[in-house]
Amino acid sequence: MSTAKDAIKLAKDRKAVAVDFKFLDFLGTWQHFTTPVSELEEDVFESGLGFDGSSIRGWQPINASDMLVIPDPSTAVMDPFMTHSTLSLICNIVDPITKEDYSRDPRNIARKAEAYLKSTGIGDTAYFGPEPEFFIFDDIRFDQNEHSGYYYVDSVEGRWNSGRDEGPNLGYKPRYKEGYFPVAPLDSQTDIRHEMVLAMESVGLRVEKQHHEVATAGQAEIDLRFLPLVKMGDALMWYKHCVKNVARRHGKTATFMPKPIFGDNGSGMHVHQSIWKGEKPLFAGNGYGGMSELAMHYIAGILKHAATLCAFVAPTANSYRRLVPGFEAPVNLAYSSRNRSAACRIPMYSPSPKAKRIEVRFPDPSCNGYMAFAAMLMAGLDGIERRLDPGDPLDKDIYALTPEELKDVPSVPGSLPDALAALAKDHDFLLKGDVFTEDVIETWLEYKRTKEVDPLRLRPHPYEFALYYDA
């Protein structure tokens, strides 16, 4: 475990002139402030540094705004995007009066989830391996006001530009739904993705592979090797940071918005997960798909609480432009081995017990990773503790089934309001071990409803004019 002395030594060895303190707001965006390296002393790792918590989304009222960041020395790395040599530290948030960890700090929620797993005696490590997808665009413009509303995205790879005069247009634009994954020149972004990988590796992330994804217009995927829950929460934040900043270097823009393009695939984030105890993988067994009884209970917990989970793992209104029955996203709550149309899949790449895991396929990369991973772990543990039964697997092509065959297969919520309603009704499992608190649940519901659901409900949609202007 790295210490304060180790972090200070790294700054000295790398001739850092500044220190960047990073932490996550309630919704999932990194915040930061920077100090000269002369301010980095050992007591900072104990007493912390103050900031205004009332200016952070979903946090403190203005009459109780003082908060502290406590840097975690194990997260010390050199920031690859600063012009001047800068040490980066990820921080936990503490109340300056009570000295207690702040309940609305997403990293604290993830830390408590890991602690709860250990307290149950079921296992000691929960591993997560997300596969975030994203788009790399050349242009993005949008506006919304009292009398107009529009968005415009563009990419030199976009199939819609096959007839544009580009002086000259060189062709090789991936057809809709055929971006997975031909070589260059159809895939024009191998080098930029590789640069993203190098940036990730420079901050200690381990990348398994990178490739173009299904959609036209620069859809991409870079896969991280699995890590324990909190470390993967940290890694996902660095992942997004590297993707966005490398894109910016190239005069491009990257988005983790789930469904930015109509008529082509959206961006999901399949999440592989497993529980270990010591050196023993607990999901390996002799049951269906080579899984253990414990793993099947975990799957049952995920499926039972899937509607509630969507409030955290598919947390935007745009998420439900992707989670639509009959299209590419797995909306039907079933499990299967190999079958990618199931919401919960058992990968069959390797017979090794260490490779046994489940893959939850309905999350998307707009989520706050710390809270999403913690919520899925709590749902799975609830399934184990209550010995829930996932039922029979569904090994058929779900999209080929008739309505009669699908009538008994539940599906994910159809909208963000539906997911929030599920969270309001079913969240006791999240409260175990004080991992999530009633305050966290209530604040999440209030923020999402007042800042996202209501503003969207009040605004005319541009396509409504095409449908109804001549009514």
Which residue among the candidates 104, 193, 270, 345 is catalytic per the annotation?
270
d(CA 301, CA 429): 10
Angstrom CA distances, 324 to 64, 409, 415, stand at: 42, 15, 9
- Determine contact, residues 304/383, Cβ cutoff 8 Å: yes
Which residue among the candidates 340, 418, 426, 449 is catalytic per the annotation?
340
Determine whether 221 is an active site residue.
yes
Q: Of the candidates 229, 410, 420, 426, which has an alpha carbon nearest to the alpha carbon of residue 335?
A: 410
If residue 87 lies in a helix (H) or strand (E), which one and from where to where?
A: strand 86-94
What's at 125, amino acid-wise?
T
How many CB atoms are closer than 10 A to CB 437?
15
d(CA 374, CA 142): 33
d(CA 94, CA 47): 10
Which residue among the candidates 72, 105, 114, 131 is catalytic per the annotation?
131
DSSP code, position 270:
E
d(CA 381, CA 157): 43
Q: What does the longest C-alpha to C-alpha distance in the chain come to?
A: 71
| Alpha carbon of residue 60 to chain centroid | 24
Which residue among the candidates 114, 264, 359, 452 is catalytic per the annotation?
359
Which residue among the candidates 72, 114, 138, 213 is catalytic per the annotation?
213
How many CB atoms are closer than 10 A to CB 311?
27
Angstrom CA distances, 450 to 105, 453, 455, stand at: 20, 6, 7
How many CB atoms are closer than 10 A to CB 394?
21
Determine whether 438 is an active site residue.
no
Which residue among the candidates 6, 39, 41, 52 is catalytic per the annotation?
52
Which residue among the candidates 72, 138, 157, 221 is catalytic per the annotation?
221
Determine whether 52 is an active site residue.
yes
Determine whether 270 is an active site residue.
yes
- Determine contact, residues 235/227, Cβ cutoff 8 Å: yes
Determine whether 359 is an active site residue.
yes
Which residue among the candidates 322, 361, 364, 452 is catalytic per the annotation?
361
Tell me the catalytic residues: 52, 131, 133, 213, 221, 270, 340, 359, 361
